[in-house]
Structure 1
Amino acid sequence: MRITVFGSTGGIGQELVRQGTEAGHEVTIVVRDPERLPEGPAGAAVHDVVRLDDPAAVRAAVAGRDAVLSGLGSRGRKAGGVAERLTGLVLAAMEAEGVRRLLVVSATPVGPEAAGDPLVDRLARRAVGAVLKEIYADLTRMEEALARSATDWTSVRPPKLTDGPRTGAYRTVIGGTPRSARSLSRADVAHAMLALIDDPAAVKQGVGVAY
């Protein structure tokens, strides 16, 4: 499969490139700052590097691809509209090129509360939501842009991210949120995104993922 990965210098993006390459996919990576691109076996297998701030290059990076995966988002507590703005650039490029399959990273608080969630989990989620309000507002606007688009999108919504290993042992709820969703490794977020590419049930859906 031919895939393009946006945000490939971040923790999830690096895992998407690594795991996608290991699975035999032809991977194109797109970065905001090429100097942040890590060296190593995953990078050696990548076919192209293009800058996200070059619209023509972004169109070329998605043209003819089977799927586009994005780990784009804020690197701190101040979102600055990063997810909405950059995902909008990706959507415009995909729609111009007629490419449909898109998977992006969002966050658990953007989705619905899990049915039967214990009070402690609901309170913790609301407390985190208050602290990171700007980031989640940005992600909400990003998801609204996805819903208006012509793409076959999937928004993958993990809880707190960790640097743990890939396990493949996590819960997935299409259109909802796993009960007591507390953490997930970046490696397993990438694993879930790659696994959902061919899942028709996940198209135009938010997907909650957690241990």
Structure 2
Amino acid sequence: RFGPSDEIAVFEMTSEGLREVSDISSLFVEDYTSAPGNVVSVIYEGSRAFLIEVQALVSKPVYGTPRRLASGVPLERLLLVTAVLTKRAGIPLDSLDLYLNVAGGLQIEDTGVDLAIAAALVSSYTDTSIPEGIAFFGEIGLDGTVRSVSSTEKRVERAKKSSFSRIAAPEGRNGIKDVKQLLKIIGGMKSGKE
């Protein structure tokens, strides 16, 4: 009744009853595999930063009109990121089927997942696996820029605790500034340069 209304707690049923899951990140990324379209993001819900797996599949349409399906994030986020990648990075996603999923059934409202959505889409489109140990976060603007999000330090700290030593985010000297740069980075991974 009193206090924050945006806190999150995760419980699991054991033989002794319900127990709180202290490391939420391990629950949502324990089955993560480095495959085209799979990326890890650091999100912030309530007062906690934790890792999630974002999965994307980009394919030729089976029917005449391309389909857009999103599970775990609002469809509007997928549509926004898709439009920006098409217009600002020149990736022709507008004519392809796009499927997006957040593993574990979690519903994400954090706009910091935008960069992970973009990375997953580009990874699937180019059939490039993102190496393990990289976590993505950042908000994507309509102009194609990658913007800072709240609680950056906590996100970085959480990623490093879970053995994600490389952070792909807009902050810092080597930060990702726009979606064209993201495309170059993932292209470099495919050719072995990144």
TM-score bucket of the superposed structures, by smaller chain: 0.3 to 0.5
- Output the TM-score relative to the length of structure 2: 0.32
Higher helix share: 1
